[in-house]
Amino acid sequence: MRHWDLQTIDVLPRKPIVLDSRRGESRSIALQLEAGEALDEHQVHERAHLVVVDGEVEVRNGASPQRGGPGLLAIFDPAERHEVRAVTDARLLLILAPWPGDGHPGARDL
């Protein structure tokens, strides 16, 4: 078993940490966003599970914003466009599965 304390791990803004990455399975990434920063509107090839560990964020997919703090789980379908903006300094866990997803440039090597 591998484990992390997501509240105390040393994650710096703009320097995400890949905690685990297994081809054909999933990728887990810890992120730190400062208040006002955002992961601007984007999409990924995989299903994305976003968990708020600390702080508060606003998540948008189209016109329906959702605000939440620790414990918020947002799940995006592959290719679903979304934006994540930090209302306060926020620590996030992002899980992408399967990794890499269909159409991802790294998927050609599988």
Q: Residue 88 maps to which CATH number?
A: 2.60.120.10
Share of the chain above pLDDT 90, in %: 74
Over residues 104-108, the mean pLDDT reads 59
Q: Is residue 76 part of a domain?
A: yes
Over residues 79-100, the mean pLDDT reads: 93
**Ramachandran region of residue 97, left (φ > 0), alpha (ψ -120 to 50) or beta?**
beta
Residue 57 within any structural domain of the chain:
yes
Percent of the chain with pLDDT over 70: 90
pLDDT band for position 43 (cuts 50, 70, 90): confident
Domain that holds residue 83: 28-109
Amino acid in position 64: S
pLDDT band at 105 (very low <50, low <70, confident <90, very high): low
In a domain, 46, yes or no: yes
Maximum mean pLDDT: which of 43-47, 79-83, 89-93: 89-93
Task: Look at residue 6 and tell me if it is in a domain.
Answer: no
